[in-house]
Amino acid sequence: MHDISEMIGEQVQRHRRRHQWTRKQLAEECQRLGDPDLTFAAITSIETGRRDETGRRRRDVTVDELAVLARALDVPPALLLFPIDSEEEVTWSPDARTNPWSAIQWLSGAKPAPDQRSEHRPDRMRPPLEAYHDHEDWQGHWWQSYMRSQSWEERAEKVKSADTREKLLAAADLEDEWRIDAIEGWILDARVELLQAGVTPPELSTDGEATLIKRANEREAELRSARRRNSREATE
């Protein structure tokens, strides 16, 4: 059974060998990326798990070092912690093990902790990361809908049949209604949830989303105004 530090060491060695690098070459790349402490000796200790006379590892990996090693090895940091391609079970917390994918979903905020049943979690405990995921997903759906609508309109301009043109334009209209009435509402809900959690929502593109941006700005201004009003009432 590997602890997290041992897993990182094994994965660093595995991906270093994938690049066909020596430890010296990996150390040089890490130092080029701004971490002078990741020397040949440090990487040797990380990979081999060298221990002192008390049995403790001589060298664990800091969060900063994990980021540099991941950059140098061209692998997501999560895969150095929880490799889904080489392990069936990993340690995600002391004395707690689960499959790598569940650990990665917990790490990314996509799912609750592996030992926490999502149906028992109150809505108020939903982390902002999930709202970020929702925002990104719905914005992707928005763009897919927008492109479908544009495609149907462009096809309508080229066809000779009036009946076909009418059907294509009707399809474009239905797509626009779906995007405006449903998708944009879900995007706005995610933005409000982020604001309520004290998180600044990501910027919206200015290409094709002018109406959505206007609605988002109006809704966010209303929310801030309500907060200021509630704050004044609380102090009176």
What pLDDT score was predicted for residue 126? 65
Which of these, 208, 167, 204, lies nearest to 188 by C-alpha position?
204
pLDDT of residue 221: 81
d(CA 233, CA 40): 62
Contact call for residues 135 and 194 (beta carbons, < 8 A): yes
Q: What is the mean pLDDT of residues 58-69?
A: 91
The model's pLDDT over 163-216, given as tens digits with 9 standing for 90+, comes to 999 999 999 999 999 998 899 889 988 888 888 888 888 888 766 667 777 878
What is the pLDDT confidence band of residue 49, given thresholds at 50, 70 and 90? Answer: confident
E strand or H helix at 96, and its extent?
A: strand 96-98
pLDDT, one tens digit per residue, over 8-47 is 999 999 999 999 999 999 999 999 999 999 999 999 999 9
Q: Tell me the CA distances in angstroms from 44 to 34, 82, 153, 180, 221, one per residue in order.
A: 19, 21, 61, 56, 54
Residue 118 three-state SS: helix
Rounded to a whole number of angstroms, the distance between the first and last alpha carbons of the chain is 60
Q: What is the pTM of this model?
A: 0.67
On the question of pLDDT at 51 being above 90, the answer is no
- pLDDT digit string, tens, across residues 129-149: 888 888 999 999 999 999 999
